[in-house]
Amino acid sequence: MTNYLPVPKPVEASGSEPEIFHGKKILVIDDDKTICVLICEYLGKLGMDCLWTSVPRTAVEWIQEKEFDVILTDIYMPEISGHDILSLALAQLPHTPVILMTGNPSLHNTIEAIRLGAYDYLTKPFKMNVVEMTLGRALHYRKLVMENLAYQNHLEIQVQERTRELSDFLFHAVQSLSLALEARDPYTQGHGYRVGELVVKLAGELGVAEEEHQALRLASQLHDIGKIGIPDSILLKPGKLTTTEYDLMKDHVFIGYHILSPIPSLKEVSRYVYEHHERMDGKGYPRGLAGSDIHVNSRILMVSEVYDALATERTYKPAWPLRKIRDYFLEQAGTAYDPDVVNALLSLLDKEGEEILKLFQGGFS
Ligand SMILES: [Fe+2]
């Protein structure tokens, strides 16, 4: 357990209250009260805060409730042995060294104690300066462990910060891409943002894990990014598209997928983008996927995207009133759209209708 750690320097002589001892919380457990009192009196003089008990059951409660810097425990005690105490301490206080004590020394016992995870082993009767030396080593060990933990936590915080910075950068880059499309096609202005707001609300309603919300928001902003590759004559055509033109327009999911899928962190996003025109009945495009073959997040994106298209005014249609939108989704639930997502949308509209109205800013009344 301790092999990889440097051997600490010997502690100062007794009575000098070195820094390493000061205020440290030590638990002493022995069914012989005299030993507990002797040890704690000595450790108190060294500036340590020593708590002792001759009842192992009490020690079990304390280990579950309190923090200790070092635990010293007798091995042979009625009901609960020092090995049991050691196992509990390793589980509850994994950074607290445990020193076992026994008046029945043997090589086998020593090896067994270390094998079970004890920091060290004291043989009774012991001299107090030996207890002091052993405790000093244990406290140095704990100090190193705690410093190492603090260092690891600091590193983890730094990694989290860098990851967040990268994620923010990615999000802003995506917004720029989305704005590039909106600059070409004014009818999509604000569409990605609104879909993103709704998609996250729906994901929350459906219990989608929070870690997936960011990918959903990005997919909302980028679902039509492939339209960048569609000619102006089709993308900006005011009238109805011919069958050939419509077929070309459908390529936007394919183009979007090929723009996004080479970016490792957008792998999932590219899948949602690829699937956002599939239908539950398999009559969508590009692959005619059906039911659960379509990712649930793609199904959420589909509903959010269509909701925005219906709820906002376009050159070819006015904004639909809320009742008409509800009827449309109810009618299409199970054929075009996932009925669970439709139910989540309707319940969201019941709960947050006013808030969602604000989001779509007069899109319907
Ligand atoms: Fe689309």
Q: Quick: pLDDT tens for 129-155.
A: 999 999 999 999 999 999 999 999 999
Assess whether pLDDT exceeds 90 at residue 238.
no
Total number of domains constituting the chain: 2
Query: Is 227 annotated as catalytic?
Result: yes
Burial (CB count within 10 angstroms: exposed 0-12, middle 13-18, buried 19+), residue 256:
buried
Give residue 56's pLDDT band: very low, low, confident or very high (50, 70, 90): very high
Cross-strand bridge partners of residue 49: 25
Q: Which residues surround ligand 1, an ion (CB under 5 A)?
A: 224
Do 151 and 190 lie in one domain? The reply is no
| CATH number of the domain to which 341 belongs | 1.10.3210.10
Report yes or no on 258 lying in a domain. yes
Containing domain of residue 193, as a range? 185-359
User: Which H or E run includes 310?
Assistant: helix 296-311
Residue 52: CB atoms within 10 Å: 21
Reported as a single tens digit per residue, the pLDDT across 198-209 is 999 999 999 999
Do 191 and 150 lie in one domain? The reply is no
Mean pLDDT of 173-178: 78
Do 109 and 228 lie in one domain? The reply is no
Reported as a single tens digit per residue, the pLDDT across 267-286 is 899 999 999 999 999 999 99
Do 209 and 341 lie in one domain? The reply is yes
Do 268 and 341 lie in one domain? The reply is yes
Residue 136: CB atoms within 10 Å: 20
Reported as a single tens digit per residue, the pLDDT across 154-175 is 999 999 888 888 877 877 887 7
- C-alpha 35 – ligand 1 centre gap (Å): 79
| CATH number of the domain to which 104 belongs | 3.40.50.2300
- C-alpha 227 – ligand 1 centre gap (Å): 8
Do 230 and 116 lie in one domain? The reply is no
Do 65 and 198 lie in one domain? The reply is no
Assess whether pLDDT exceeds 90 at residue 309.
no
Q: What is the mean pLDDT of the chain?
A: 86
Report yes or no on 228 lying in a domain. yes
Report yes or no on 166 lying in a domain. no
Q: Is 49 helix (H, G, I), strand (E, B) or coil?
A: strand
- C-alpha 252 – ligand 1 centre gap (Å): 7
Assess whether pLDDT exceeds 60 at residue 1.
no
- C-alpha 334 – ligand 1 centre gap (Å): 20
Helices 191-205 and 339-359: crossing angle in degrees, nearest 10, is 130
How does 271-306 read in b/e, with b if 16+ C-beta sit within 10 Å?
bbbbbbbbbbeeebeeeebeeeebbbbbbbbbbbbb
- C-alpha 344 – ligand 1 centre gap (Å): 22
Which residue in 66, 127, 227, 237 is the catalytic one? 227
Query: What's the pLDDT score for residue 358?
Result: 62
Report yes or no on 10 lying in a domain. no
Do 117 and 203 lie in one domain? The reply is no
Which residue among 135, 155, 175 closes a domain?
Answer: 155
Reported as a single tens digit per residue, the pLDDT across 67-97 is 999 999 999 898 899 999 999 999 999 999 9
Do 189 and 141 lie in one domain? The reply is no
d(CA 84, CA 321): 70
Do 149 and 215 lie in one domain? The reply is no
Assess whether pLDDT exceeds 90 at residue 50.
yes
Report yes or no on 220 lying in a domain. yes
